[in-house]
Structure 1
Amino acid sequence: MKPVGITCIAWEEARILESGKISVRQFTILVFLIAVGDSILILPAIPAAEAKQDAWLSGILGLLTGLLVVYLIGTVGRLYPRLNLIECNAKIFGAWFGTIASLLFLGYIYYNAVGLVRIISDFMATQIMPETPIDAVHILFLSIIFMSLRLGLETIARASEIFLPWFVLLFLGLVLFLVPQVDIEQLHPFFANGIKPVLRGSIFSATNPYIELVPLLMIFPYVNRTEKLRKHLVAGALFAGIVLVIMIALSILVLGADFTSRNMYPSYTLAKQISIGHFIERLEVIMAIMWIITVFVKASIFTYLLQLGLAQLLKLRDTRVLALPLVFILAGSATAFAPNITSFNYATTSYWPFFDMTFGLALPVLLIGVHALRRRGGA
C-alpha cells in the first residue's frame, strides 16, 4: 500500500539526515536528564505557591499524571517506529496538514529552546556572575550548543552517559547534607486548604517535566531497538519524577512552604542551607552544576531536533548547515522572548502549561485518533 503524503524517496532522504544510532540505555539517560531539565531548580516554587505545605503531594500527583501522558507519547512512537514525528505527521495527516502540524510542532520546540537559553542566562547573570552582561552568557552557552549541533545525536548521547554519574553523585550528596536541616513540622497541617490547591499545583508538576518529553518522538527511529522504547521512556520519566518529588519535599521541609513559593530558584537557595560543623557550608555549587548539566542536555537535544525537523521540511541533505543560523536566531530571540524576569515568570506559570498540553497531549491524541480512523477506513 502506498504511503499517504510522503514517498519512499522522501523517507530515504530523511534517513540520510541522521545516520547515527544511539542505544536504549543512552535513550533512557536522555529521557531522565531532559525530564529533570530546568525543573529541578524552578519546579518547587510553583506547586508551593498553590498548595503550600502540600506541594509534595502535587509533585506526586503530577508524576502519576505525567507518566500516563508519557505512556501515551510512547504509544505514538509505536505507530510507526521507523519514522520520526515529522514523517508520522505526513503519513497520518497527509502532505498539507502534516506539514502544517510539523511547522507548529517545530515552533513549539523553538520556544522551548529559547526559554531554556533565557532561564540559564538569567540564573547565571543573577546568581553566579551578576556583573556579566546577559548577552555574554547567551553567547557562551550557545557556543557549546553550536558544538553539539555540529557533532550530532550520538555525541550528545555519549556526553549524557558521562554526565549521569556526576549528576547522581551530586544529587545524593545534596540530599545527604540536607538531612540534618529537615523539619517534619513544615508539612503540617495536611490539606489545610482542601484538595483544589493540590490539583492546581499538579498541573505544572505534570507539564514541564513530563509532557515536554514529546519532542523525543523525533529520535525514536535512531535508537537501536525500538520495540521496547515506550517502557524505557516511562522508566526514564519515573526516575526523573522521583528526583523532582524529593526536591519539592526537601524545599518544603527545609525552607518552608512560604519561602519556597516566594523564591525564584528555591533548590539553589536550599543548597545554601547546608552547614555541617560550620566547616562544610555554601555548597550551592552542587545544585548549580547539576542544573547546568540537565539544562545543557535538554537545550542541546531540543535545538538539535529543531535543526533536524527544519532540514527535513526544507529537504536539505545536511542538517549542519542550519547550526550557525539557529544559534544566532536563539541568541536574538532569548531577550525578546522575555524582556525581564517578571514577564518570564508570568509566561511559565500562566499559559505555558497549556501550551505544553496542546503539543504534548492534544497532538498525540489526535495522531492516534486519526491513525485509528484511517486504518478502519482502509487508508
Structure 2
Amino acid sequence: MNKISSKHYILFILGVTIISLKTYLSVFINKGGRDTWLSSLLAGIIFICFLLYIINICKVSNTFDIKEIFNKSLPKVLSYFCIAIFVLGLFINAVESAAVEANVLHSTLFIDTPVWYALIFFIIPSLFIFTKKMRTILIFVLVSVGIFLVNGIAFFLLTQGYTDINNLLPVLGNGLSKNFFSTTLLILGGFSTFMIVAPYLKYIDKNQHIRKHSFYAGIIATAFVVVSFVSAITAFGPSRAANIFYPEFVLGQRIELAGFLEFGELFFIIQTVIGFFVKYILATYSILLILEKYIKRKSIFIGIYVFIVFVCSNFLGLNNFYLYDLLKYIQIINLVAFVLIPFIVFTLYYIKHRNLNTKKS
C-alpha cells in the first residue's frame, strides 16, 4: 500500500525542516547575533502561516498533486520553467545534505577520514531506498525521524545545566536592525524546505485533518529550531557561538553524568547522520516523483544522479569556510525555489479555481 496518513506527514515535514537549521547554527548567529533566536521565532511564525496557506489551497481545491498545480496555474513553457527551478532546489538541498553530513564527520570525530570516504557510507545505502515504493519510504521516515526527535529532546535536557540565560540579554539591544530582518529571511529559507515533501501530498490517504496536523508539524519544527538557537547562544554567548562551525557538537562535549560518563558528542553525530540522510532521501525521492514520466530508465538516472551528488558534495565538504559561505546562498535559493515561486503558483491556482467555481454557480 503506497499511502500515508496526515499524521505521518508531520514526520515528513519535521524530517526536512529541522536538521539544517539545527546543525549549522553559527551561519545565522554570525549575522543575527544574540537576537538570532528572535529572528528564528519570527521566521517560524511566517513559516507556519505559509505552510498552512499551501495546505489550505490544496485542501480547498482538493488538489494535492504539485505537478498538476504548476501545470494548471501557468502557461506550459512557464510551468516547465518553474518546475525546473523547483527540482533544482531539491537537487541543491540533496547536495547540501550530503556535503554537510560528510563535513561534520570529517571536522569533528573522524578528522582523519576523507570526505569522499564518509560520502560512500552516506550515498550507497540510499541506492537501495530509491528503488523502493512509498511504503518503504514511510517506514524509513517513521523510524528515522522518531529516533531523531527522541535524540534531540534528550540532548536538550542534558545540556541545560551548561547554559546561562544572561547571554541573551539585552534583548533587541541593537533594535530591529537590517541584520535582524536579513537573518529572519535566511532562517525562513531553511524552514521553507518543507516544500521538499510537497510531492508526497498526493499519497495522503485521508486528508480531512491535514491542516491540523500540518500546523502541529510547524509548531514542533519552530520549537526545535528556536530552542537550538537559544541553547547555543546561552551556552557560548553570541560572539563565541558565531565562530564555532558546529556549536551543538562543542556543547555536547560538555555533557557529563555521574562524574565519569561523557558521551555528548554521540547525540550530535546521531542527529546529524540520521537527519541529513532523511533530508537527502526525501529530496531525491521527490525529484523521482516529479520526473517519473520523463525518466525512461530509472536505474541509469539514479546512477548518474548519485555520481553527480557525490562529486559536488565531495568538493563542497572539503573546505569548512567555503561550505559555510555557500550555505548562506543556499538559503536564498530556497527562498526563491520554495517560497517565492510556490507562493505565486499556488495563489494563481487558487484564483483560477475560485473563478471556475464562481462561473459554475
TM-score, structure 2 as length reference: 0.90
Instruction: Give the CA deviation at 1:277.
Output: 4.4
Q: Which moved more, 1:142-151 or 1:67-76?
A: 67-76
The one-letter amino acid of 1:129's match is F
Instruction: Give the CA deviation at 1:193.
Output: 1.6
**Could you report, residue by residue, the CA deviation over 1:54-110 in whole angstroms, capped at 9, with x for unpaired residues?**
222122112112112222332343365455222321222243322222122111111
**Could you report, residue by residue, the CA deviation over 1:240-298 in whole angstroms, capped at 9, with x for unpaired residues?**
11111111111111121111111111111111111234312241111110222111111
Q: How does 1:329-344 map to 2 (within 5 A)?
A: 329-336=308-315, 340-344=319-323
Alignment of 1:362 with 2:343, yes or no, is no
Q: How does 1:196-345 map to 2 (within 5 A)?
A: 196=177, 197-208=179-190, 210-312=191-293, 314=294, 316=296, 319=298, 322-336=301-315, 340-345=319-324
User: What SS class does the counterpart of residue 128 from structure 1 fall into?
Assistant: coil
Closer, same or farther: CA 230–337 of 1 in aligned 2, 3 Å: farther
Contact 2:187–2:331 (CA under 8 A) maintained in structure 1: no
Instruction: Give the CA deviation at 1:114.
Output: 0.9
The one-letter amino acid of 1:73's match is I
Whole-angstrom CA distance in 2 between matches of 1:28 and 1:319: 29
Closer, same or farther: CA 230–265 of 1 in aligned 2, 3 Å: same
**Could you report, residue by residue, the CA deviation over 1:8-44 in whole angstroms, capped at 9, with x for unpaired residues?**
xxxxxxxxxxx721222221111112111222111x3
Identity %: 17
Closer, same or farther: CA 104–52 of 1 in aligned 2, 3 Å: closer
Contact 2:98–2:277 (CA under 8 A) maintained in structure 1: no
Whole-angstrom CA distance in 1 between matches of 2:5 and 2:350: 30
Closer, same or farther: CA 38–47 of 1 in aligned 2, 3 Å: closer
User: What SS class does the counterpart of residue 280 from structure 1 fall into?
Assistant: coil
Whole-angstrom CA distance in 2 between matches of 1:310 and 1:139: 25
Contact 2:151–2:271 (CA under 8 A) maintained in structure 1: yes
Q: How does 1:11-160 map to 2 (within 5 A)?
A: 20-42=2-24, 44-78=25-59, 81-160=62-141
Contact 1:81–1:221 (CA under 8 A) maintained in structure 2: no
Closer, same or farther: CA 337–182 of 1 in aligned 2, 3 Å: closer
Q: Which moved more, 1:60-69 or 1:196-205?
A: 196-205
Whole-angstrom CA distance in 2 between matches of 1:315 and 1:133: 33
Closer, same or farther: CA 279–337 of 1 in aligned 2, 3 Å: closer
Contact 1:21–1:222 (CA under 8 A) maintained in structure 2: yes
Closer, same or farther: CA 150–91 of 1 in aligned 2, 3 Å: same
Whole-angstrom CA distance in 1 between matches of 2:212 and 2:109: 39
Instruction: Give the CA deviation at 1:159.
Output: 1.9
Contact 2:4–2:205 (CA under 8 A) maintained in structure 1: yes
User: What SS class does the counterpart of residue 281 from structure 1 fall into?
Assistant: coil
Contact 1:160–1:297 (CA under 8 A) maintained in structure 2: yes
The one-letter amino acid of 2:221's match is A
Closer, same or farther: CA 104–200 of 1 in aligned 2, 3 Å: closer
Q: Which moved more, 1:365-374 or 1:245-254?
A: 365-374
Q: What is the number of residues matched between the two proteins?
A: 356
The one-letter amino acid of 2:343's match is V
Contact 2:89–2:338 (CA under 8 A) maintained in structure 1: no
Aligned to 1:5: none
Contact 1:33–1:240 (CA under 8 A) maintained in structure 2: no
User: What SS class does the counterpart of residue 113 from structure 2 fall into?
Assistant: coil
Instruction: Give the CA deviation at 1:305.
Output: 0.8
Q: Give the superposed CA RMSD.
A: 2.3
Closer, same or farther: CA 38–153 of 1 in aligned 2, 3 Å: farther
Instruction: Give the CA deviation at 1:165.
Output: 3.8
Contact 1:149–1:320 (CA under 8 A) maintained in structure 2: no
Contact 1:83–1:220 (CA under 8 A) maintained in structure 2: yes
Closer, same or farther: CA 374–181 of 1 in aligned 2, 3 Å: closer
Closer, same or farther: CA 338–232 of 1 in aligned 2, 3 Å: same
Contact 2:252–2:265 (CA under 8 A) maintained in structure 1: yes
Instruction: Give the CA deviation at 1:119.
Output: 0.9
User: What SS class does the counterpart of residue 262 from structure 1 fall into?
Assistant: coil
Closer, same or farther: CA 369–166 of 1 in aligned 2, 3 Å: closer
User: What SS class does the counterpart of residue 287 from structure 1 fall into?
Assistant: helix
